[in-house]
A and B are shown apart, each in its own frame.
Chain A
Amino acid sequence: MAASKIDIKLYKTQEWVDWCPGCGNFGILNAEQMALAELGLDPKRTVIVSGIGCSGKIAHFINVNGVHTLHGRAVAFATGIKLANPELEVIVNAGDGDQLGIGVGHFVSVGRRNVDITVIVHDNGVYGLTKGQAAPTLPRGVKTKALPEPNINDAINPLLLALASGYTFVARTYAYDVKHAKETIKAAITHKGLALVDVLQPCPTYNNINTKEWYDKRIYKLENWDPVVKSESEIEDKITKAYLKAREWGDKIPIGIFYQNEAVPTYEDRVEERVSTYLKNPPAKQEIDKNGRFVTSIENIVKNKRVV
């Protein structure tokens, strides 16, 4: 569906963007709009499915289909949308609390299916919209502004969880490196299969620890790093290296594509294997009636149930 580059203005809605000044979400929004424009995606056939949080509002700011769903459930909605109409380009934008807290079950389970969608996690370490409680990516012992005591829970590493769950594209980027974020999102969208883009996203209002300054000092881009699995024999080596690299955190924080493997059949391929007309004539496109008269025959099914 990729066409030639389209003017970025076309991807902006009239809605006022109501994030706090300096919020990392602005970087993600710009990067995502630029990625869509550069890929020339048709707004009618592109869908942003978001969860609940500051991050979830993004669906209203991009002028493609926007489905602002429930806290944690964006991936479930997105799966239904994509499987009913695999021709659509489906992108999930979720908060870290959204996707790795309340929605972590869906985050893991969609990995088993390798549905061809992109999951972008707005990783700010806090529950922004509920005023700064600890999110699942906040390390233990860290006391961000709104916490009465240092965080008592250990952090989830979204990349490791994605690798363990079966994501076939695993990347991390940084909200204030819009160019890197844009390129990473483009690669994720173009990837055939399930992609995670974990975006380190400063929240100047509630996360006074992982600030822009904090990240700017630590972040470096993966170089001399080939994440792409080219044959089955490479899987073990590349996934192990990706795993070790993704654990790096502290003084140095790598960003980039850690792992990519397009050889795993997508869920859509798996359905097509059972239903040979699925991709050509998916559920959303089928006529179920002709002038009101139903077309689906149950004649054989009824015959099978016949006793006399």
Chain B
Amino acid sequence: MVKITWMIGGPQGSGVDTSATVFGNALARAGYYIYGNREYHSNIEGRHSYFNLTISDKPMHSISDDINILVTFEAETIFQHFREVHDYLFYNKALESTKLSTINSIERETAEEIEAFLESVNVPPTVEGVLGYLRGRGVKLIPVEYDKILMAVAEEMKLSVATISRSRNIIAAAVSLRLLGLDKKYLAEAIRGLFKNDLFVKANLLAADKAYGLAEPAYGLKEIPVSGHRVQLDGNTAVAMGKIAGGVRFQSYYPITPASDESVFIEANQVVDAVDPDTKESRKVGIVVLQTEDELAAINASIGAALTGARASTSTSGPGFSLMVEGLGWAGMNEVPVVVTYYMRGAPSTGLPTRSGQADLLFSMHAGHGEFPKIVIASGDHVEAFKDAIWAFNLAERYQTPVIHLVDKSLANAYSIIDESELDYSSMRADRGKIVIPDGSYKRFQFTDDYISPRAFIGNAVMHYTGDEHNEEGHISENSANRIKMYEKRMKKLELADKEIPEESRLNVFGEGDVAVITWGSPKGAVMDAMEELKQDGISMQLIQLRMFNPFPRNLVTKLLKGKSKIIDVENNYTAQAASLVASSTGIQPTNYILKWNGRPITRTEIRNAVKTIMEKDEKRVILSGGQ
């Protein structure tokens, strides 16, 4: 099995994303799968950012800390990542004499840490020093004269170097492709496919030509024939596509990382084709995307839209969700099907705005004063994110209650090459729940046997809603008996959901073994990929990936966990939040924990090493710290 890790770094705003996207696109054309994570500061220009890609002949779901090829343009990336690279380093020859102390963009704590390391191994804090250190460890160094190549391209095209300076990224992609042993035609195709402007297409093709010969093939990758189509997707886009397919007609949002890209994507595609599945007759219809003044407005506008019958949702991350909580309670009280896509980033307050985390599970479970039913689901990969976006609307409408869809930042911004067939949702059906067009008097909150009232849309009947406790008509009532009954009616919907939704659909199980690993969200990929590797070390495990937290699949989880010799909980947070839900629902506690809260995604390397540590030394809590 091919598994090569490629990393590119550089200052934000210099096109690192583009080069990782173009490079991955070229590899996909050659038949390879990619999983790539994007790390960046909360900054627009100048701070260090990087992309970490795993290239494989099999679908990948995670990244690794062991970097085979590190591509750099400037000195900071070399200093930040030289300890991770094993095989090849591309560097800008002009920067050999750069000192660590002259790099202003690097954070003080990071510089001090690197300096201390270099001192401990007796290496001067300069690029030259680091290059010598790497040479000593067998890393091959490939100097690239980016500026010279760019000048040659500029001259040939009779343009200024500044105009085409971003072709620097293509130079990196071309040399990398050659090193892998793949034909440059894939890069040419990727360039033609991704760039719209003829001038840049030409400059990039020229740059690719000039750079391709700078390395010798070393990895011997061959083209793999592909059957069917493959797509390149990030998590934001996967959710947006799922929402569109699932019939979203109103999306509100207030800009926030890492959520807004989803809404922007929907807006860019707001005119969609509605196709009759029988006659195939097609017509253009529209989705309203509303950029509101704040998240208070975002959730409440979506609730308003949902009252009229439109499938409505909003997207946000922690700070925005904090503001949405009162509205969420109103939706719970008034039995409104509204979907909130909650992208989890790191830490409270502004925290680590562009980094990842999974610390908002319990918050989303308990968000809101008082008690009301809410359904909470969490996606573990891009395909799940796509399908869960559809599922969320169905759940919301069937149970007439808000649904929170959790997606971690490291899924939102990671991209993956996926077989298009995985996105097939033709077996999924729209479930709009109990909808009526009454032709007489109507009670919005009518008591029924299954606790779900027939739902009419505003426009088709006269009805009343209030955040106060209310009677069947939706008018305020503080009567004790009504209060008891109406409260119970709302809460019982969750019990109904628990009865109706198969527990098997609320979690995924992978592999078999005496050791169970519990996780949720994006660490799923790292655990799955690590499990493959651990098999070679003679360790087999069973992964239980939790996908729905409310209602919790307690029977199945209990059954799965019973009799395991070890239960390892893996999460991107400090307090092991999912584990506490497992414990409160099943009475079973994990025996060991692998936790990480530095804002960086969990890698498969980390899982492999941590599991080995746990197996060998039965360490209770392994804390991970990988990533720059």
Contacts and interface: CB of A to CB of B under 8 A. Distances in A.
Interface of A: 13, 15, 43-45, 47, 49, 52, 57, 59-60, 63-70, 72-73, 75-85, 87-88, 105-106, 108-109, 271, 274-278, 281-290, 292-302, 305-308
Contacts of B200: none
Contact of A302 (B283, B420, B429): B420
A61 to B, nearest CB: 10
Nearest to A299: B273
Given A275-B270, A301-B269, A305-B233, A67 B307 contact: yes
21 contacts: A52-B467, A59-B464, A60-B475, A80-B302, A275-B270, A275-B287, A275-B288, A284-B308, A288-B311, A288-B432, A294-B247, A294-B390, A295-B275, A296-B245, A296-B247, A297-B282, A301-B241, A302-B241, A307-B190, A307-B230, A307-B232
B144 interface: no
B156 interface: no
B305 interface: yes
Given A80-B301, A305-B232, A43 B462 contact: yes
A84 B288 contact: yes
B365 interface: no
Chain B CB within 10 A, most for which of A72, A88, A294:
A294
Q: Which of A66, A80, A298, A305 has the most CB of B within 10 A?
A: A80
Contacts of B112: none
Nearest to B284: A277
A293 B304 CA distance: 25
B457 A284 contact: yes
B231 A302 contact: yes
B285 interface: yes
Contacts of B278: 290
Residue in B301, B302, B312, B468 with the greatest tally of chain A CB atoms within 10 Å: B301
Interface stretch (B175-183, B290-298, B502-510, B572-580): B290-298
A301 B268 CA distance: 10
A307 B290 CA distance: 31
B289 to A, nearest CB: 9
B250 interface: yes
Interface of B: 25, 28-29, 31, 190, 193, 226, 229-233, 237, 241, 244-247, 249-250, 252, 269-278, 282-288, 290, 292-294, 296-298, 300-312, 326-327, 330, 390, 417, 420, 423, 425, 428-432, 457-468, 474-476
A77 B466 CA distance: 12
Given A68-B476, A84-B312, 16 more contacts: A60-B466, A79-B304, A80-B250, A83-B290, A84-B306, A105-B293, A108-B293, A271-B286, A274-B286, A276-B284, A283-B249, A293-B429, A294-B425, A298-B244, A301-B241, A306-B420
Nearest to A268: B288
Given A60-B464, A277-B284, A109 B297 contact: yes
A281 B327 CA distance: 28
B223 to A, nearest CB: 11
Contacts of B230: 306-308
Contacts of A276: 284
Given A60-B466, A298-B241, A308-B28, A73 B297 contact: yes
A297 B282 CA distance: 9
Count chain A CB atoms within 10 A of each CB in B229, B270, B282, B305 and give the residue with the most. Answer: B305
A84 B297 CA distance: 15
Contacts of A67: 304, 307, 458, 464-465
Contacts of B327: 70, 73
Given A105-B293, A308-B230, A283 B274 contact: no
